[in-house]
Structure formats: C-alpha cells, structure tokens
C-alpha cells in the first residue's frame, strides 16, 4: 500500500511517499517559497536528488508539480495516480472535535474550517491541501492526522484554565498542545528503550517551533503548548510563556493594536527578538564569537526547558527518560548540554563525549551510571502519519 503524506505550510509543501506496512520511504520532497517566482522544489529518490527553481504561485500548482514528478519515468515512483491508496494530511488543530486520526468527509472539512481561528496560520492551508488532493488523487482515501490528537488524554486539571467555566464548556477554551505526531513517534521509541511495565518520559521537541510533553505509560498527561502554538518554550520567533499583563501594557501604554501585539509575539519575539537571529546555528556561532545577546538567548531558552523538566517530573512523580528530538534537539549538542546542566538532583547526568558524537541514529547520551536515560531520537512525523493512516484503513 502506497501512502502519500502531505504537510502543507503557509508557503511550503512537504511530502513523502511511504510503502506500508514496511515503512519504506520511496521518495521525499519539499517545495519552499510558494507564491514567489523563485520557489525551490527539491525531490529525492534514494540517493538521487533533483532541485529546481520554479515560479509556483499557489499550493494547487505545487501539488500538480509534485504529482508530475511522482509520475516521471526517470525520477518518479508510481505509474498512475491510482497507485496511491491514501493521502495522509497533517492538520495542526483538531480542537475538542478530533482525538484520533480520521477519514476526511465533508463534515470533517467543515469542522476543520470552524477551527481556523484557533490556528489561523496552519488550519486554512492544511484544509487547502486536502481539497486539492481530493481533485488529483480521486480514488485515494483522504485522511487527517491532527497535531493536537495525541494530547487529548490530558486530565482536566492539566488542560483547563482558571477562568469562568463557560469559556471551557461553551467556547472550548483550554490547552490542546501541539506537535503531537512527533511526541507520539519518539515516545514510543523511548518506551522500548526504557523497557518497563510503567514508563515516565519527557519528550522535548526543539525546532523553529518548540514544545514538551509529559508522557506516562504512552499517554500525554501534560504539555507545554496551550490553546494555540505560542505558549511554553522560547521558539524561533514566538515568545513562549509571557505574563498576560504585558499584552495589556503593550496595547494601552504603547498604543499597539491587538494584531500588532499578535504579530510581535508570534513573528518578532523568541530567539529572534532576543538576539536578532532565529536560526540556532547562527545564534550558537555568534555566541561562541562573544555576542552577548546570543549568549543570553541560549541561556534563557535552556532555562525555560529546565523549568518544564522540573514541573513535568513532578507531574509524572518520577522520571525514566528525557528525549531530545526535531532539528535543534537532534543536532545541537550545545543546547542539550545547556539543558542538562545542574539537573543531577533529578538523576539527569549528561556524558559530554557521547553528547558531541554525530549520528542520525537513536542514541543514549547519559553517563553509564546515569539514573535517567537521556536519549536523542530523530523524529519522523511523516512515517507516523503513514502508520496512523495505515492502521485506520487496516
């Protein structure tokens, strides 16, 4: 069974074609800068890599280009669009309506549309990807996999805010959590490593967007992101946790509109606001060269993660493993070092030599006698989406 996994972003379209149940990745690709004359289209099959600069004005044209590439006799992997059994779509926000992977129907699409206000940067383009795929892969099942679904096991004491109950019951204002597909994928790998009947794991997803989850026996009991994907950790351009009074101050005293404050906190804050740069690689280099703002940004980001480790260890009543994943978590030995320092009272004891080793494989980086496993697990959200899609169809 061939499952095409699509991850539509505001100006990007990622895809993988995965054969199930073997989980063999037949090809991967990415279109960046959709809507620009110089969109970058990259397609890889085995070791062959194909890159072109194309004027791709919208996602419809982008998916048409991807389809033509999949069918190309020299670099493609299918002979007809009917070779695709299902298309698995990443959808960021499922609200309280979706707690599991779901076959797409008109009702499902209407519900995704109703959630636009909860994820205005993501859900509209996620729905666009579904609607375009329906017109191209007409015989395939369209399947929605929600970022929020994995976190729906949180107890009410973890997801409810201390505001009037009507806001929860009528307006569904609560913590939902995000990056659920990634947290699910890596936590299952970590559970195998812990090899206990009962497991207590903290997963740390660090990329341009960052989040953490406290996972007990394979189920989320708490997570750092909340109603929207801006809460919690310091991210590339998002502020993470901030006193709500700051928002009112910005609006009243500095005469900022609600939209201006939203833009400030979503796109001009985080590591970018602290250092002038959003890419951790550049921040790390500048910090090593003596840039004080970059040094400070790294310290603030690591400290925020440490606070959540302490809180989640308390919520779990113990700790078997912490997991680093995603672009920064997998590749930045500096950030892992900063996060793990001064946490020996929790049994977190990093082996610096193991931490600096470069590898794309799952690896443990704690000292030999460390009580808590420190694990680096490369995430693969596309494979997880394919797995969930396959299980639904099976």
- Tokens standing for 340? 């793990």
Catalytic entry in 58, 147, 333, 351: 147
Q: Has 279 been annotated as catalytic?
A: no
Residues with catalytic annotation?
147
């Amino acid at each position: 069974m061939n499952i095409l996994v699509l991850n539509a972003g505001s100006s990007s379209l990622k895809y993988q074609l995965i054969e199930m149940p073997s989980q063999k990745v037949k090809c991967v690709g990415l279109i960046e800068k959709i809507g620009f004359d110089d969109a970058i289209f990259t397609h890889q099959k085995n070791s062959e890599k194909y890159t072109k600069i194309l004027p791709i004005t919208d996602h419809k044209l982008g998916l048409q280009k991807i389809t033509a590439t999949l069918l190309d006799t020299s670099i493609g992997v299918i002979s007809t669009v009917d070779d695709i059994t299902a298309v698995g779509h990443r959808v960021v926000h499922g609200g309280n309506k979706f707690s599991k992977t779901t076959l797409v129907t008109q009702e499902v699409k209407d519900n995704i549309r109703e959630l636009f206000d909860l994820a205005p940067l993501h859900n509209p383009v996620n729905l666009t990807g579904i609607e375009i795929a329906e017109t191209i892969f007409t015989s395939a099942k369209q399947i929605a996999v929600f970022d929020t679904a994995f976190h729906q096991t949180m107890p009410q004491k973890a997801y409810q805010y201390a505001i009037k109950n009507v806001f929860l019951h009528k307006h569904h204002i609560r913590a939902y959590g995000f990056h659920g597909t990634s947290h699910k994928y890596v936590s299952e790998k970590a559970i195998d490593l812990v090899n206990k009947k009962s497991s207590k794991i903290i997963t740390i997803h660090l990329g341009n967007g960052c989040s953490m989850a406290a996972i007990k026996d394979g189920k989320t009991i708490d997570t750092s992101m909340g109603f929207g994907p801006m809460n919690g950790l310091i991210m590339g351009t998002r502020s993470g946790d901030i006193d709500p009074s700051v928002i009112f101050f910005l609006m009243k005293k500095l005469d900022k509109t609600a939209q201006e404050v939203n833009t400030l906190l979503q796109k001009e804050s985080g590591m970018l606001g602290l250092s002038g740069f959003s890419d951790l690689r550049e921040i790390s280099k500048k910090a090593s060269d003596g840039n004080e703002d970059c040094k400070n940004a790294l310290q603030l980001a690591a400290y925020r993660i440490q606070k959540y480790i302490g809180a989640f260890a308390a919520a779990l009543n113990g700790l078997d493993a912490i997991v680093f994943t995603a672009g920064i978590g997998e590749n930045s030995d500096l950030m892992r070092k900063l996060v793990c320092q001064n946490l020996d009272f929790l049994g977190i004891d990093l082996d610096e030599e193991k931490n600096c080793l470069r590898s794309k494989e799952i690896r443990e980086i704690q000292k030999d006698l460390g009580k808590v496993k420190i694990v680096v697990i490369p995430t693969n959200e596309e494979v997880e989406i394919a797995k969930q899609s396959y299980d639904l169809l099976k």
